[in-house]
Structure formats: C-alpha cells, structure tokens
C-alpha cells in the first residue's frame, strides 16, 4: 500500500544534506525542466491532475494558469509552510528530512510561473524546520542551485524564509500574504472571479509545501507516471497522517483511493489497546467527524470523503476510541478555534467563544437543554456571514459532532 514519491529519502541518513540528497535524485528534474518552456511545465502539471495538499484540493495547474503573462510587476511563489491544523504534521517531515526536495520543487514551480523570487512562510513554532531549511538553502546557493544562474541555466531564483508569529489563521492564504506584507494576519475578502493571489500588488501563487514537493517527480517522470497512482479524479499520492488512539501513529505516503478502514487496521495497527473504534476525524480538525460505522466503504480521496459528508482536508486522520467523550473532543477543538479566530467578523469572534463557554458549562454539569440550543443558534450564525471560511468550517464540524453524538450532549444537560 505504501508508496514513495515524496517520502523516498525520509529514512536515509543525513538526507537533509546536499551531498546525500544529490546521491538520491535531488535536483535531477532540472535538466528536463529547463528543456521545457514555462507554459509546457504548467501543462505537464495540469495534465498530471496534481491537487493542492493544503486542505482544499484545488487543481495546481489551473491555479498556475491564472498567472498573467507579461504583468508590469514581478511574479512571486509563496510556499505555505504554516501547518497549524490540529492532526496535521506532514509538511514538517518534508522540511526536516528532505529540504532539498522542497527547494527543487520551488525551482520547478517558480520557473513555470515566471517567478524569480520565492518565499517560504513557515509556522513560527517550527524552529527546527526553519534551521533545516535555511541550512539547505545556504548549501543550494553555494552549489549554484539558487542565485543568478540556477544549475548553470539562464534562470535566476532567490528564496527567502519568513517565520510566522504562531497564528493558525496565517495558514489561510490571504491572511498569510497580509502577514508577509508586514500587516496583521487578517484574511482578505474573496474576489468575485478566479484570479491569482496578490503580494504587494504583484501576481502570486500560494501553494502548500507538499504540493510543491510533488512537482519534481512529475517533471522528471512525466504526468502519465504520476497518474499511475491514485484515482482518475484524485491522481497521485498524499502523505496521510495517523494520530490519536492508534497503535502506529505517523506519516505514510499512500496512493489516493485506498480504503480508510484498511489503512487504520493494517498500517495503523488498529485502535490503541485493541479498543473499539468510536470515530475518525478524517483530514485535520476542520473536517466533519465520521462515526465508526460510516468509514467501512470510505476511500482516501476527495470524492469519497465528500460523498460521505466530510472532506479529505490535509489527510491527517485522528482516531478516537470508544471511551472518549465526544463533547470533550468538541470542547478541546473550540478552545482552539476560539483562540485562533482573527476577530474581524463578529459572528466568528463571538460565536466561537460562546460555543466554547457553553460546552464548558455542559461538561461541568451546570448546563440545560436551553444552553444546548444556544450552541445550535451560535453555529447557525457562524455559517456564511463571514469574511473567510474559518467560521463556516467550524459550524460544519460542530453540527457533525452534535448531530452524530446528540445523546452524549443531552446526557450532560440538567433538564
């Protein structure tokens, strides 16, 4: 079941060092890359069907095609390394174990979109990854893989690493760009039509670390080889995560389309302590929860998760055993969302706080059915009346917890 496109070098000793990385294929895509025109590279990525691994699953090639040709301002690539979603720890593996893969991906992607400067916006708490990246970038400059003539070809590229200050919302691409511009990390209003992102008014692509790290394989091996993995609509592989009550937590690269239950039972070794499974949060904390009996026929791809009323998200599965209180799980998440709401929109700022507070009251056995109804009202307000999708996502997940485990919530109410 396990495949190795992105994770190939993870277990090789000193794989983060250029000398070792070069022996294991790193920078080998550049020869073919520079034999293609930027548009041909975009076409290759579009045909591969590569989808963004930051949570939304947007088609990468389609996003790149939105970049204007011959714009008066320079183009930029911004790599989203903010990785703050609870249950998600995959990008970190790339940055720690194979930073040169990310740099190679950045060279491929920047060349395709006509950028000569790329930024990596990294989660503030990822100090070790930041050091690994900076060291690898320094090595790449010294060896001529970055700078005025990348690998001796007539193409210039610089990379700057920028550390965030620890805000979850700065993973949202427009908040990230605001923060990178030196402002408060507040999401921007969405444009009416599809267009690139804008960094200091210049056309910009924002892509997740794993998305960018997938590009060298596609360029080296061609789009057809990438499509040998996965499904028609969700081609390729993803670094899936297993955490929570599971015997073998970790990150595993799998082709899209494998059965979720099989993955938990075989690769994951089953629920910790051989307990019964109660629920799974399928792709990071912002995905609707699934009951154990719902996962039987779910395959790990965008379409299957959607058809079963949830989302694939970042692929980080959180396993929950039968002894876990779902209201406590929800309270834990709402403490996080309450803290991380950027506060621009009243329904989000106040709503997350209210739900957090009332859940606390219920768990203290001081709440009533009326309090429970207030949670439902607050969730109603969160949905659809805000600047970004943070609040509607929180409303969706809250509804899934409450509707699927209503008895557990009712049992906490005094009347």
- CB under 5 to 8 A by kind: which of ligand FMN, ligand SF4, none does 86 bind? none
Of 341 and 409, which has the nearer Cβ to ligand FMN?
Answer: 341
DSSP string, 343-405: S-SHHHHHHHHHHHHHHHHHHTT---HHHHHHHHHHHHHHSS-SSSTHHHHHHHHHHHHHHHT
Q: Which is nearer to ligand FMN, 21 or 169 (CB)?
A: 169
| Among 100, 87, 124, 77, CA closest to 317 | 87
58 binds, among ligand SF4, ligand FMN, none (CB under 5 to 8 A by kind): ligand FMN
Distance CA 393, CA 341 (A): 12
Binding mask of the shown chain, residues 210 to 249, with x at each position contacting ligand FMN by CB under 6 A = -x--------------------------------------
Cβ neighbours of residue 362 closer than 8 Å, sequence gap 6 or more: 327, 371, 372, 409, 412, 413
Nearer to ligand FMN, 109 or 264 (CB): 109
Residue 266 vs 346, nearer CB to ligand SF4? 346
As measured in angstroms, the least distance from the Cβ of 203 to ligand SF4 is 23
CA dist 357 and 338 (Å) reads: 10
Rounded to whole angstroms, what are the CA distances from 141 to 136, 137, 185, 310?
Answer: 9, 6, 30, 43
The Cα–Cα gap between 303 and 366 comes to: 42
Q: Which of residues 55-84 bind ligand FMN (CB under 6 A)?
A: 55-56, 58, 80, 82-84
- The residues near 271 (Cβ < 8 Å, ≥ 6 apart) are 245, 246, 247, 264, 277, 319, 321
Q: Please state, in angstroms and rounded to a whole number, the distance separating the CA atoms of residues 286 and 396.
A: 9
Describe the chain by its helix, strand, coil percentages, rounded to 5.
45, 15, 40
- State the nearest-atom distance from the C-beta of 274 to ligand FMN, in Å: 34
Question: In the complex, what is the shortest distance from the CB of residue 414 to ligand FMN, in angstroms, rounded to a whole number?
Answer: 35
Nearer to ligand FMN, 54 or 244 (CB): 54
Residue 29: name its binding partner from ligand FMN, ligand SF4, none (Cβ under 5 to 8 Å by kind): none
User: If binding means CB under 6 A, how many residues of this protein chain bind ligand FMN?
Assistant: 22
- Interacting partner of 206 out of ligand SF4, ligand FMN, none (Cβ under 5 to 8 A depending on kind): ligand FMN
208 contacts which partner out of ligand SF4, ligand FMN, none, CB within 5 to 8 A by kind?
ligand FMN
Q: Which stretch binds ligand FMN (CB under 6 A): 47-55, 98-106, 292-300, 404-412?
A: 47-55
C-beta of 59: minimal distance to ligand SF4 in Å? 24
Token pair for 117: 């400067």
Q: Which of 208, 285, 304, 310 binds ligand FMN (CB under 6 A)?
A: 208
Cβ pair 295, 276 in contact under 8 A: no
Is residue 169 involved in binding ligand FMN (CB under 6 A)?
yes
Question: Taking CB positions, which residue lies at the least distance from ligand SF4?
Answer: 348
- Residue 241 carries which DSSP code? E
Nearer to ligand FMN, 13 or 189 (CB): 189
Q: For residues 265 and 350, which CB has a smaller minimum distance to ligand SF4 in the complex?
A: 350
Residues interacting with ligand SF4, by CB under 6 A? 169, 187, 341-345, 348-349, 386-388, 390-391
Residues 356-415 that bind ligand FMN (CB under 6 A): 388-390
Query: Residue 55 or residue 187: which is nearer to ligand SF4 going by CB?
Result: 187
Smallest separation (angstroms) from ligand FMN to the CB of 123: 7
E strand or H helix at 198, and its extent?
strand 197-199
Tokens 């990854």 correspond to: 129
DSSP tally for the chain: helices H, then strands E:
17, 10
What tokens appear for 93 in the block? 């593996």
Shortest gap between Cβ of 24 and ligand FMN (angstroms)?
24
Q: Which residues bind ligand FMN (CB under 6 A)?
A: 52-56, 58, 80, 82-85, 169, 171-173, 206-208, 211, 388-390
């Amino acid at each position: 079941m396990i495949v190795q496109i992105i994770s190939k070098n993870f277990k090789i000793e000193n794989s983060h060092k250029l000398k070792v990385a070069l022996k294991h294929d790193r920078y080998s895509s550049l020869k073919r890359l520079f034999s293609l025109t930027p548009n041909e590279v975009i076409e290759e990525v579009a045909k591969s069907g590569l989808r963004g691994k930051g949570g939304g699953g947007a088609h990468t090639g389609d996003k790149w095609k939105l970049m204007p040709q011959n714009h008066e301002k320079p183009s930029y690539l911004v790599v989203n390394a903010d990785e703050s979603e609870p249950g998600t720890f995959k990008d970190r593996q790339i940055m720690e174990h194979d930073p040169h893969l990310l740099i190679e991906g950045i060279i491929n992607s920047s060349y395709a979109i006509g950028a000569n400067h790329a930024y990596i916006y990294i989660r503030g708490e990822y100090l070790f990854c930041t050091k690994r990246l900076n060291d690898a970038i320094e090595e790449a400059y010294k060896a001529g893989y970055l700078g005025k003539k990348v690998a001796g070809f007539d193409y210039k590229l610089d990379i700057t690493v920028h550390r965030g200050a620890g805000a979850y919302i700065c993973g949202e691409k427009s908040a990230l760009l605001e923060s990178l511009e030196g402002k408060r990390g507040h999401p921007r209003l969405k444009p009416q039509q599809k267009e690139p992102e804008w960094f200091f008014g210049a056309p910009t692509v924002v892509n997740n670390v794993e998305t960018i790290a997938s590009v060298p394989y596609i360029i080296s091996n061609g789009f057809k080889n990438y499509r040998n993995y996965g499904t028609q609509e969700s081609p390729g592989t993803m670094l899936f995560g297993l955490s929570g009550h599971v015997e073998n937590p970790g990150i595993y690269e799998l082709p899209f389309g494998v059965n979720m239950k099989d993955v938990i039972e075989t690769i994951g070794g089953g629920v910790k302590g051989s307990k019964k499974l109660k629920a799974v949060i399928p792709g990071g904390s912002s995905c609707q929860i699934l009951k154990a009996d719902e996962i039987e026929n779910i395959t790990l791809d965008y379409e299957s998760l959607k058809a079963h009323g949830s989302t694939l998200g970042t692929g980080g599965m959180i396993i929950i055993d039968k002894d876990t209180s779902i209201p406590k799980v929800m309270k834990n998440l709402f403490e996080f969302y309450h803290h991380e709401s950027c506060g621009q929109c009243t329904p989000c700022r106040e709503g997350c706080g209210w739900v957090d507070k009332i859940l606390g009251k219920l768990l203290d056995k001081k709440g009533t059915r009326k309090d429970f109804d207030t949670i439902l009202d607050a969730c109603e307000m969160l949905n659809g009346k805000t600047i970004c999708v943070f609040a509607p996502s929180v409303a969706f997940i809250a509804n899934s917890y409450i509707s699927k485990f209503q008895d557990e919530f009712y049992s906490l109410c005094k009347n």
